[in-house]
Structures are given as C-alpha cells and as structure tokens.
Structure 1
C-alpha cells in the first residue's frame, strides 16, 4: 500500500516492460477480433517527470531519457516510442506513459481494458484519467483478486499484465499462485509477468517453478544493466510470457539486446529463453 510508482516512472525497468508491452499489443492487433487487456497493478496511468517524486530520484534519466537520446532505435521499439511522442507533442520529455496509457493509446475502439489498483489515491487518479473512455474499467482492488474476479473476459483473446511492486518477500510465490488461478479460468489467455532481478539464482528458481506447472509455451525475456550478482541492488528485470503471439520471440530477440546495451553499463547483457518450448 505504501508503494508509489511516481518515484520510479520511466526508469530502465519501466522502459523494458513498456517496450515489450507495446510490441505485444501490436502483435495482438494483427487479428481483427477485439482483445481484452487487464492490468493487475495499474498505478495512475501516466506520470509527470517534472513532479517532486520523479525529480527526487531522477531514475528516468537512466531509462527513457537514454532511449530518447539514442540513435537508430530498432523497428521493434516504434510502438512504444509512438506513445511517448504522443504524450509529448512539443518534442520534449515531460510526460511518461504507464502501462494503462500505453494500452489505451494502442487499443482499438472495440478492444477493452480492465485496470486494477489497490492504493486509494492512485486508483482515484486512474479513474479520473480514464473517466471519458468507455473501453476502460477501473477497479479498486488487489490485482490478484482481480485476476480471480475478472477472468475470463467476454473477449476470447487478450493480455493480462501482472507487475506487482515486489514489496513483500514472497512475491514470486504470490505471482506463481496468481498465475495458476488465472490459467484455470482462462487457459488460452496471454500472460506477461514482470519481475525485478537482483540475484540471478532467485530468477532461475522462479523459472524452474513455472516449468513444473505444465504451462503452454512460455518465454522469458530478461535484461541486466550491469554484471555481478549483488542481491542488495536492482541489476536487471525480466518478463515471463505465457502463450506469446507468433513470432514475438523473434521481435524480442532483436529488441532485448539493444535495450540492454542502451540502458546498461559496459557489461550489460540480455537473455531470451523458452521456459516451456512450443510443442511440435
């Protein structure tokens, strides 16, 4: 309840998550049928990089600012950059999109969004931001409860983003249990599970636990902005994708190394692995 994402908006972890999210949504739009989008920990939807919170940490300078200053970004980054430019029509960098805003601006008229946010003040801001958009439903509730209550959606296809703040020690286990509950209700849905990377061993255990669940095809896309394995600092971040769209792995294979190089130090790296390979 104490977590406020405004302090971290636009940092390297956000850029990794949101660049991948925008790419996934563009893949979903390749089919005419409408899709549903669900966000488990939605925040306030968009952020002012000149706010007191953002200026206090300055984390966005090591994230979105680096990306915007980079030359020749890959084609796979275009959907994300398009949203950032739409929020900053004067060509500057003042506003940063959270995942709800990215989904809202990339979704089509027939697509639908369900946004969960537990913090009362953040939920109120989120509801006010999307009050005029009939495609968007805002729910003041815990994201894992939302997964149980809101799935399956009326649409037969779509994406569930689960990206908790990792304030509690057992968040990986909570995420695993939440995924199991969600898959029982909507086994054909696409799921994106975001996580911070401190010690690699914890991530390897999480991937191994997921591999034991009998999941359909499951892909992991991780980046490290620095080498080493210090468990007391944020060294990278990752996404696990269950039921990823066709050829998304190829697109992420081009995007992830560029993000690691652009956002990281000299020993930055990326990893794209199938936790569960597609059955032939």
Structure 2
C-alpha cells in the first residue's frame, strides 16, 4: 500500500494522528524535564492542498475540512496548529508532523527529523529552515535505534512510514522490540493504515507477543462495516502513553469520530491496551 504523504495530506488519518500527537506531547510537557521528539519518516513537512497530488485524491475534504467545519472545542488545538501555517482564510497549506512538532517545542526540547527520500528531504530542509530542528537523511529504522536512549532521557519517537514495502510491518515489529529493550520507559507512536481487518489482526497478534506492558492501540474505522479492498481508516500504536493523555483520550476520540464520520456512517474509534 503506497501512502506517500503528498497524496493524502490533511485526510482523516492526518486529523486523528495530529490531534492525538498534540495531546500526547502536551501531556508529557506537564513535567518540566526536556523532551526529544524524533520523527523517523518526516516527509516534506508542509503540503499544498491545491497541488495536483492532493487534488487527485481530494481526501482533505473528508479530513481537515471536516475538522474545520466542526465546532467541537476539543479540536481547537488541532485547528490552531493548521491555522498557524496559513496566513488567512481556510486551510490551503497543511502542516506535516515536523511543522506541528516544531510548534510544540519549549526552549528545553529538541526536534530530530529524518527523511530518506531525496526529493522529500530537500523539501523538508527548506520548510524547516530557521526552525530549531536537526534534519537527517538515513534509513529510518537504523536511525530509530541509533538515537536511543535520547540524551534528554524523556522523549517521543514517531514512526509514520508509507507502507510501500511488503516487509514494513515486520521491520517495525523487530525494531520496536529492540527499541524497547534499549529504552523501556520511552514513548513510541506507530501510525498504520487500515485496509482489511485480517491483515491488521495478524499484525496486532505479533505486536502483542512482544510482551510490551503498556501498548495502547487506537483504531479509527471510517465505515460501519469493512469495505473490501479500499482504505478503511488508520490508527496508532502508542507505547508508554502518559496517564494524563489516556485520561483525556475518550472525549477527544468521540469528538474526532463525530467530525470525521462519512455520510451514512457513524464510524468507530477503538482505544484499548493491546495486552488486555
């Protein structure tokens, strides 16, 4: 499954991912200690929703535009992050995770971005010029392990691959196991698309067998029943989410479900512990 960011910027998966990422980082920032934020698959950092790629799919209409049409106050932080990269009016530009994470930085925090694709890393360096961020061009899984544990001790690793390679899930599983051995108390966020429940169930079982004590799964299913062969939604696996985040999660997920449900569907956002 090809999930190049430029074709899907601002879709429902981005709305959920970025809303939860903002809430997660802010929960961690309730403590004064410095954080290192590491994005292993950073992409271009900023996307034009009027580009040929974005217009070809039109997915922003069912994502960020729906979030902006909602009046739910729990989506205010997400909308503010998008507005921050737009001079006026509605969302013409969409911030990827690097731009959103940069907005969240405190003076004591650090941001490390990685992107292997030559054109994307070139664009990323331009977008992040002037920001307090280090940009790398390395294999994402090698970098993930090489930077652990971070110098600050506390931090978040965000893993958001395009799932172009057939062994992507296997590489994530193996690297996550090794990362947990190196940094057992660290917070890791793994994004995934949902295409069919059988494939996803098998991967969940593989992750469950890793025995990671605090592994939260969040799944956003767009439709009330599985739609074979098409994109059905997306979700996150989150290792060691802070208590403040998990306590505030249910109402945020409900606000997202209401805002993003397709016409004629209620949609579903599931959140529970993978080992439960």
Task: Give 1:237 shift.
Answer: 0.8
Where do 5+ consecutive residues of structure 1 fail to align?
none
TM-score, L = length of structure 2: 0.93
**Deviation (angstroms), 1:257:** 2.5
Q: Which runs of 4+ in 1 moved over 3 A?
A: none
Structure 2 CA distance, aligned partners of 1:264 and 1:178?
A: 34
Q: State whether structure 2 residue 271 is matched by structure 1 residue 275.
A: no
Please give the residue correspondences for 1:66-215 in structure 2 after superposition, counting only pairs within 5 Å: 66-71=66-71, 73-75=72-74, 77-133=75-131, 135-215=132-212
Find the partner of 1:217 among 214, 222, 235: 214
Mapping for residues 17-28 of structure 1, pairs under 5 Å: 17-28=17-28
Alpha-carbon displacement from aligned partner over 1:224-274 (angstroms, at most 9, x marks no partner): 111322341111111111100113223221122222232122241111111
Distance 1:213 1:204 in 2: 15
Give the whole-Å Cα distance in 2 for the aligned partners of 1:31 and 1:247.
Answer: 11
Where do 5+ consecutive residues of structure 2 fail to align? none
RMSD over equivalenced CA pairs, Å: 1.6
2:16 is matched with which residue? 16
Shift of 1:153: 1.1
The alpha-carbon distance between structure 1 residues 218 and 74, as it changes in their structure 2 partners (threshold 3 A), is farther
Q: How many residues align?
A: 273
Are 1:34 and 1:111, in contact at CA under 8 Å, matched by a contact in 2?
yes
CA shift, 1:63, in A, is: 0.5
| Contact 2:99/2:128 (8 A) holds in 1 | no
